[in-house]
Amino acid sequence: MEVNLSSFRRISLSRKTRLIASLLILFLAWEAIAVFVEVFRNVPFPTPLETFTRLVDLITGEPLYGIPIYKHLVDSVSRWILGFGLAVAVGIPLGILLGYSTAMWDLFMPIIYVIQTIPGPAWIAVALMLFGLGNAPAVFMIFIVVFHAVVITTASGARGISRRYVNAAKMLGADSATIFFKVFLPAATLPIVSGLRIGLGNGWRVMVAAEMIAGTASGLGYSIIESRWSLDFTSAFVCMLLVSAFGLLTQRVIFAKIERRIMRRVGLMEVS
């Protein structure tokens, strides 16, 4: 037991060391690029120190385009949650239904695949025609890019379930509703989680693009695009850092824990 604990501590320390080294490489490369651009192109390029100093100023109350940085972040997260939540609420039931029914698969999956081929920012024209300017087009764009990811992975997972399980449930007297909820839904859990992970990243990225174009008047994407007029590129870098930090937090920390819990529940990971 002591040997295993010691080995675990060495592995954990090694991972932390590599993480610190990776971040150090990133910041050194950032600093080198900033120096190169300023020396050879005579263009001010925000350094890591300048960016973090600006971040502290904004956190301590200095407004960014007349709005606190907290409101920009909250508005962006709110739009993403709404679009992501709507896509999940519609996409998971539809995906399971398409995987459950061959006729529904043949009828609707070609449409979903067509939607998948269209990049998220390309939906801006449709969003503006449908909803005009404001929050609605941004939420729509987030919804559409999350929706197809959730539907495709969920439907593919449900469709890939072995017919032996279905036949066994029927032999035990299970009706269609029982098979749907007790066989298809649990078996599709991991594909659903994979779709949510993909949709989460897609939705967060397109949220930034949507805020740049859709006239939201707040948000991290809005602040980044506004920097081209004010030439406040340091604030744009701050917003990019916040976009990256929140994305990593949701994907690598919060969502990873949910995924591990589900995998333990379905028996694909040992409980430690």
Q: Is the pTM of this model over 0.75?
A: yes
What's the pLDDT at 1?
Answer: 47
What's the pLDDT at 82?
Answer: 93
Residue 2 has pLDDT above 60, yes or no: no
Residue 7 has pLDDT above 80, yes or no: no
Tokens of 124: 């801006």
Q: How confident is the model at residue 14 (pLDDT cuts 50, 70, 90)?
A: confident
* Per-residue model confidence as pLDDT tens digits over 191-248: 788 788 888 888 888 888 888 887 778 888 888 888 888 888 899 999 999 988 888 8
Percentage with pLDDT > 70 across the chain:
90
What's the pLDDT at 217?
Answer: 81
In angstroms, rounded to a whole number, what is the distance separating the alpha carbons of residues 6 and 193?
A: 33
Question: Which element (helix H / strand E) includes 179?
Answer: helix 176-179
Q: Give the distance from CA 75 to its chain's centroid.
A: 16
User: In this structure, are residues 242 and 223 in contact, taking their beta carbons and an 8 Å threshold?
Assistant: no
* Per-residue model confidence as pLDDT tens digits over 23-42: 889 889 989 999 998 888 88
Q: How would you label 214-243 residue by residue, b for 16+ Cβ within 10 Å and e otherwise?
A: bebebbbbbbbbbbeeeebbbbbbbbbbbb
> 3-state secondary structure string, 86-137?
HHHHHHHHHHHHHHHCHHHHHHHHHHHHHHHCCCHHHHHHHHHHHHCCCHHH
* Per-residue model confidence as pLDDT tens digits over 83-106: 999 999 999 889 888 887 888 888
* Per-residue model confidence as pLDDT tens digits over 252-272: 777 777 777 776 765 555 544
